[in-house]
Structure 1
Amino acid sequence: MTATTSTALPPGVYVPTKDEKSHQEAIPAPTPAPSWPQTPKMRLSVEDMAHPGAVRFFKHIQDINTFLESCVIAIFELLFSPNTAPTNVRSVTLILREMDGIAYTTGSRLDNDHKEIHFSLRHIAAIDVERIGDDIKGVLQHELVHCFQCSGHGCPGGLIEGMADYVRLRRGFAPPYWKRSSEGKWDSGYERTGYFLDWLDTTYPVDGNGGCVRRLNESMKDVYDEHIWTKLTGHSVDSLWGKYAKTMQG
């Protein structure tokens, strides 16, 4: 019969006790990071490279592709789940050109799966120097939301714009002149509705950690139903707006 042998461990090697081994085996494996769809191809068109607005843009946004991709991932994280994130957008072209206004988003001449963001060089040239970086980033984040968000039949225009500013707010790109306000209607749009959605997501965390605005967005893929507010929170949107207004009373 062959005798059982063992090799002694080198000095300094720690051997966990039976209780420690049991504890280590009980530690759950870390939750894997969400698997988001591939971001679309990003394209850039500049009407006039020598325009003061173009010079300022490239000074403050140096790695354009990386920044735009981070904006898309933020949209997926705030407005979708891995199973609902859109995959139909094939490309986004950022067009910097001389025009009135600030920016707008549209489908391209190819089809609606190719998006275009038109951004005014005149506006960029006029932005206050103290906030130009965040202002440019904020406008791009807002317009990119329009490339992906759900906006089914009957969805209020103010909710569409407010959801874009909600994402901009959550990304930390809110300009200093924005402020919370309960004046007017809940769907007045832009930052007024954006702040309301931010409050809603914090106050009614349907997934335990936010998720209310995401569920709201996902529900509007085909058609907007005002009963979604009651389904998510137990209150109508007008009642929620009233509750929100009370949080700002002295």
Structure 2
Amino acid sequence: MIIPAPPAPSTPWPLPRIKLHIEDLDHEGAAIFQGAVNARDALHLAVQASYRWLYTVDNPPPKVTQILLILRSMPGVAHTIGTGRDGMEKEIHFSLEYIVHSKARATAEIMGVLVHETVHCYQHNGKNTCPGGLIEGIADYVRLREGYGPPHWKRRGEGAQWDAGYETTGYFLAWIEDTYGAGTVSKLNHCMKNKSYHKRHFKDLTKCSVKKLWNAYCCLLKDDDGAKVLEILSARDDDD
């Protein structure tokens, strides 16, 4: 189910220059990609997803000037790096083999990966102090909100850690946003713009420590008992 997007800013921010490099046009993955999406349109949509879910008129996104999408043979799925003097030129490297592996649902999976990786082009990282699991979780949170969560994703609670990353953290962040109001994750991202990450950011935004939030979320997944969740959230909280 696609969750409705929040209202777009009244003055949209400019889109970066988009470039595409395909290392091997004879690779099956290249043909699948080109048949599934238009690279320019897909990346424009991915950029707008980051704008929608992570930024506001008062807290605008970084001025990324260029995104170069490189389709090449490599292990894994994809990764993103910053280049240029100020790091505002980005490269997304996307595995051709993974595209072949995902050909049964190529368009949705390609879009999901591009949305995720484009978040890495724009999100703040607390001057490189943000835990990797939260970095990846924010990227999958945006992917979820855009409706590109794949069928195999599952909510995980008890036995996992809140900052395990990817969809585990993504679903947790979505629950926080749904519980504490639209813009909560955007504000969390903004907390890490010019200062180091600290777990107390969660308490500043929700009045609950991340430990308490995670315990409440795990309880909800296990028992679906709203009263018990409220009891956990209302209890004394001595943790940051």
Aligned-partner residue type, residue 191 of structure 1? E
Deviations along 1:155-189, one digit per CA (max 9) or x if unpaired, are: 11100000000000111111100010113210000
Work out whether residues 22 and 70 of structure 2, in 8 Å CA contact, stay in contact via their aligned partners in 1: yes
SS in 1 for 2:91: strand
Shift of 1:34: 2.2
Residue 112 of structure 2: aligned partner = 138
Match of 1:159 in 2: 134
SS at match of 2:69: strand
CA deviation vs aligned residue, 1:188-222 (integer Å, no higher than 9, x gap) = 000000000000000011xxxx1110100011112
In structure 2, C-alpha distance between the alignment counterparts of 1:150 and 1:87, rounded to whole Å: 9
Determine what percentage of the aligned residue pairs are the same residue: 43
Give the partner amino acid of 2:167.
E
Does the 8 A contact of 1:37 with 1:87 survive in 2? no
Structure 1 residue 36 displacement after superposition: 2.6
Higher helix share: 2
Q: Deviations over 1:99-122 (max 9, x none)?
A: 111100001356511100000111
Instruction: Give, as a single letter, the amino acid of the residue that structure 1 aligns with 2:198.
Output: D
1:60 and 2:36 matched: yes
* Number of the residue aligned with 1:231: 204
Indicate how the Cα distance of structure 1 residues 239 and 82 shifts in structure 2: closer, same or farther if over 3 A, else same.
Answer: same
Q: What is the RMSD computed on CA atoms of the aligned residues?
A: 1.6
Determine if the alignment matches structure 1 residue 122 to structure 2 residue 94. Answer: no
Shift of residue 225, structure 1, vs aligned partner:
2.3
Alignment of 1:161-240 (within 5 A): 161-182=136-157, 183-205=159-181, 210-222=182-194, 223-240=196-213
Name structure 1 gaps, 5 residues minimum: 1-30
CA distance in 2, matches of 1:125, 1:68: 20
Match of 1:42 among 10, 18, 22: 18
1:86 counterpart SS class = coil
What secondary structure, in the 3-state scheme, does the structure 2 residue paired with 1:101 have? coil
What SS does structure 2 have at the residue aligned with 1:37?
A: coil
CA positional deviation for 1:67:
2.0
Q: 2-side partners of 1:100 and 1:235: how far apart? A: 40
In structure 1, the partner of 2:71 is 96
Q: Which has the larger radius of gyration?
A: 1
Match of 1:105 among 59, 71, 80: 80
Q: So what's the TM-score if we normalise by structure 1?
A: 0.82
Cα separation, 1, equivalents of 2:100 and 2:131: 32
> C-alpha deviations, 1:133-162, integer Å up to 9, x for none?
111110111000000001013211100000
Q: How far apart are residue 248 of structure 1 and its match?
A: 0.9
Partner amino acid for 1:221?
K
